[in-house]
Amino acid sequence: MATLKTQLDGYRLTTAEITYRLPDRPVLLQTYLWQEYDLAPRFPRLHEFLAFWEENLDGPLHSVRLASAKLVTPSQFRHLDGDKIIH
């Protein structure tokens, strides 16, 4: 889980739906979901994972769909000016 500082630094929860061809049946497609905190818009962790996939796994990539969302934005984060005690 990402810390608040990480989120405020611009990292976003990123989900990629990776569609790939089965090595023994190239006409069949299968999907794999990848999720990680990554830095938009370049997504270096996703690119690193896809490079690993292409170098080490047998199933060739067909397509990648990407979704990314900030969990906390600076406008949603406010400092408290005081404390309230509730009994």
| Pair 19, 31: CB distance under 8 Å | yes
- The pLDDT value recorded for residue 1 is 59
**83 occurs within a structural domain:** no
**78 occurs within a structural domain:** no
**40 occurs within a structural domain:** yes
- Number of domains present in the structure of the chain: 1
Whole-number Cα distances in Å, 32 to 9, 15, 53 = 28, 10, 11
- Span 42-74, pLDDT tens digits: 999 999 999 999 999 999 999 999 998 876 655
**81 occurs within a structural domain:** no
Q: Domain limits at 22?
A: 4-69
**25 occurs within a structural domain:** yes
**87 occurs within a structural domain:** no
**85 occurs within a structural domain:** no
* Contacts of residue 33, Cβ cutoff 8 Å, sequence gap at least 6: 15, 16, 17, 18
- Span 1-18, pLDDT tens digits: 567 777 777 888 899 999
- Specify the pTM: 0.75
- The pLDDT value recorded for residue 33 is 96
Rounded Cα gap, residues 33 and 26, in angstroms: 19
